[in-house]
Chains A and B, each alone.
Chain A
């Protein structure tokens, strides 16, 4: 099974900061990677698919990059609504795997 490892687990940042979250896959997943945002008590929300494609309606301050085994999610200027937990997720060979999550907290 493919394992997904996110870092850091927790990130403290201020409004306006540039934030980067990293996700590593245990084997090559090409670009079959998505990023989600989840707020407490809510369902996850798709932000990025195919590693770098922005989901419709998602602010352009969110961007994704990478391929193979190394991926990043970047928030160019953190906004108050962005404090949440972020998950990467891969799809490969009839299964999906999520990273363990990165909680973005107010500094």
Chain B
């Protein structure tokens, strides 16, 4: 079965760090564009970061310099390292596959999301 499962969310104090994980099954992470998308409580969707199949990484301006996307090919897992957490980073974080060849980089597979709450 093709699926993504996120873990690693939680309650963290401002200024803290967290690493989110996204385990894939049914397809190979390293062969795809993989992204993180977040959704603050009651708000819309915000694209956060992408790692291309070739390894290039890109970030939204709002997280550049604080977030790092990576992957472990041996574990078929995507990661998001989040540093210097701020209250405005509070959100549900989804990982998603951007399917390039057929779907023009639309996100066709999504995880269920993991909740990050930044509060003292």
What 0/1 readout, one digit per residue, does chain A (34-55) give for beta carbons within 8 Å of chain B? Answer: 1010100001111001100101
A98 near B: Cβ within 8 Å?
Answer: yes
Q: Is the interface of B mostly helix, strand, loop or mixed?
A: strand
B47-A97 in contact (CB<8A): yes
Chain A neighbourhood of B94, CB < 8 A:
43-44
The residues of A with any CB-CB pair to B shorter than 8 Å are 1, 31-32, 34, 36, 38, 43-46, 49-50, 53, 55, 87, 89, 91, 94-101
A46-B106 in contact (CB<8A): yes
CB distance from A39 to the nearest CB of B (A): 12
Partner of A43, one of B44, B50, B111: B111
**B interface size (C-beta, 8 A):** 24
CA distance A4 to B30 in the complex (A): 29
* Given contact pairs A43-B110, A95-B60, A49 touches B47 in the complex (Cβ within 8 A): no
**Subset of 13 A-B contacts with CB under 8 Å:** A32-B104, A34-B103, A34-B104, A34-B107, A36-B107, A49-B102, A53-B103, A89-B47, A89-B107, A94-B58, A96-B47, A96-B50, A99-B44
The residues of B with any CB-CB pair to A shorter than 8 Å are 35, 37, 44-47, 50, 58, 60-61, 94, 98-99, 102-108, 110-113
CB distance from A6 to the nearest CB of B (A): 9
Apart from A43-B113, A91-B106, what 13 extra A-B contacts exist at CB < 8 Å?
A32-B105, A36-B107, A44-B45, A45-B110, A46-B106, A46-B108, A55-B108, A89-B47, A91-B98, A91-B104, A94-B58, A95-B60, A97-B47
